[in-house]
Amino acid sequence: MYAVVDCGSKQYRVAVGDRISVDRLDAEAGTETVLDRVLLLGGEGDVRVGAPLVEGVTVTAKVLSHDKGDKVITYKYKRRHRSRVRKGFRASLTTLEITAINA
């Protein structure tokens, strides 16, 4: 069984036992969190598609850690003006382990 959940305006396809990295959540490491924005539920022959959400379905996940992502470099350059701007950015992420899909 798998589900497509919406977390932080991004969509993730998850199954029990998967580990995903999402935008930083306000939850302590080691606690359980519930993802209630389920867009699709599939597996075992049938697929339930929400309009926009599938009612009565939640995904339970355990918060493993809070990390920072890889550095992303942005570079702006304007020719003939001696203008160069180099900036870096590291996203704050939360690692989740999917423990159950409650249908």
Domain boundaries, the chain: 2-102
pLDDT at 45: 85
Which letter, b or e, does each residue of 57-90 get, where b requires 16 or more Cβ atoms within 10 Å of its Cβ?
A: bbbebbbeeeeeeeeeeeeeeeeeeeeeeeeeee
Q: 46 to each of 1, 11, 26, 41, how far by Cα in Å?
A: 10, 20, 34, 8
List per-residue pLDDT tens for the chain, 103 residues long: 999 999 989 999 999 999 999 999 999 999 999 999 999 999 888 999 999 999 999 999 999 999 999 999 999 999 999 999 999 999 999 999 999 999 8
Total number of residues shown for the chain: 103
pLDDT at 103: 83
Q: What's at 20, amino acid-wise?
A: I
Q: Give the CA dihedral 6, 15, 53, 34, nearest 10 degrees.
A: -70
